[in-house]
Amino acid sequence: MLFISGLSFLLAAASFPGEVSVAAAPQVDLAVGYRVKNRVLEAVDGDNVFLDGERLLAWTAVSGLPAGFIEHVWYRDGVEVARHYLPVGPGRRWRTWSRHDVEVGDYRVDVLGPDGTLLRDIRFSVDAACGE
């Protein structure tokens, strides 16, 4: 299991408050891709194949949560490989993301709320790079 601390934590994660938002229930968007530009994940083609050794981002937009931290928990083949704690605040739409260098396998990224409940998850596969 990989733990992040200190400067690595600050460099691997970022959170940004957005517009004021009032939501009766938490609203959560989650996507995986390569790069964030202007606090939005750049689109990835639906038929895109992620390859071994690439650095991927799990991007989340949340609103309707109390102040605290959400977690991005990365799993490869059912085994936890990374956990990122990302700060969020109340009353706004927050956009945040975590990074992970992937290897061949089946991945799942869970977004857990401040109380530990599963808010959303996403699944994807990583294939071997060409020529391997």
CATH number at residue 14: 2.60.40.1930
The pLDDT, as a whole number, for residue 118 is 96
Asked if residue 47 is part of any domain, the answer here is yes
Q: What is the pLDDT of residues 4-58, one digit of tens each?
A: 555 454 445 556 565 555 556 889 999 999 998 888 888 777 667 899 999 999 9
Asked if residue 99 is part of any domain, the answer here is yes
Number of domains in the chain: 1
**Is the pTM higher than 0.85?**
no
Q: What is the pLDDT of residues 72-125, one digit of tens each?
A: 999 999 999 999 999 998 888 899 999 999 999 999 999 999 999 999 999 999
Tokens 């089946």 correspond to what residue? 106
Residues 6+ apart with CB under 8 A from 104: 52, 126, 127, 128
Query: Residue 44: which domain range?
Result: 6-127
Task: Tell me the C-alpha to C-alpha distance, in Å, between residue 22 and each of 63, 85, 88, 101.
Answer: 8, 23, 14, 35
Asked if residue 104 is part of any domain, the answer here is yes
Asked if residue 56 is part of any domain, the answer here is yes
Asked if residue 132 is part of any domain, the answer here is no
Task: Give the three-class secondary structure for 48.
Answer: coil
